[in-house]
Amino acid sequence: MGRFLQIAGLVIGLIALVLQFAITIPASMAAGRGLFGSIVFYFSFFTVLTNIAAVMVHAALVSPAGYAWFPAFAGQRLRAGVAVAITLVFIVYRTVLAGLWQPQGLFLLCDILLHYITPLIFVLWWLIAGADGTTRWRDISWWMIYPLAYLAYALIRAPFAGEVPYPFLDVARNGAASVAVSALGVTALFIGLSVLAILIDHGAGGLRGKPATRMG
């Protein structure tokens, strides 16, 4: 089952990312961005970056060739961090962003694949085969680098690009206080999911009879 989910996650994730790129670039250029600006726009979404990380994890574990290309993504602690991040993608989209637009056609397909299907596949795979009891509490500080770096990038880019990838990060429209509250809320959610992931990881390791590691 774990192997099946790995392959499914790799194939579906790649298809979704490539399709999203193929439809985003023309639409972005039609909206007035240049080619380079459209490519930057595509890679400015936390959803896209996190799905790329999930695909790399699957690729690194499916075959020796994949491991040769993405060895860092085969590590137990990194893949647990990706599980946290892609769960965040699902929760924030479902609770905050899904009602803000009504995608149609291929955009709707990509919306479903990247926000619902790939997170479900990755988390199921991690629960079934990826969690092994090797995470430690200090891993949370490493996992936090990703969302905090993304937040810094989005806020620094906004004045130059005149846009933000997500409405709740729009300081010009919402004000600094509102954006700060939203950022703190998402950060707290990420930390909570990280704590839950470590507890689940050690529980899974115990159920599989693997020796527990220190959680420090």
Q: In the 3-class helix/strand/coil scheme, how is the chain assigned residue by residue?
A: CHHHHHHHHHHHHHHHHHHHHHHHHHHHHHCCCCHHHHHHHHCCCHHHHHHHHHHHHHHHHHCHHHHHHCHHHHCHHHHHHHHHHHHHHHHHHHHHHHHHCCCCHHHHHHHHHHHHHHHHHHHHHHHHHHCCCCCCCCHHHHHCHHHHHHHHHHHHHHHHHCCCCCHHHCHHHHCHHHHHHHHHHHHHHHHHHHHHHHHHHHHHHHHCCCCCCCCC
Q: Does a structural domain hold residue 37?
A: yes
Q: Does a structural domain hold residue 216?
A: no
Number of domains in the chain: 1
Q: Does a structural domain hold residue 14?
A: yes
Q: Does a structural domain hold residue 215?
A: no
Q: Does a structural domain hold residue 114?
A: yes
Can you give the pTM of this predicted structure? 0.92
Q: Can you give the residue range of the structural domain that contains 117?
A: 2-207
Q: Does a structural domain hold residue 170?
A: yes
Q: Does a structural domain hold residue 213?
A: no
Q: Does a structural domain hold residue 47?
A: yes
Model pLDDT, residue 30: 96
pLDDT digit of tens for each residue in the chain (216 aa)? 788 999 999 999 999 999 999 999 999 999 999 999 999 999 999 999 999 999 999 999 887 777 777 788 888 889 999 999 999 999 999 999 998 888 999 999 999 999 999 999 999 999 998 888 888 999 999 999 999 999 999 999 999 999 999 999 999 999 999 999 999 999 999 999 999 999 999 887 666 655 555 555
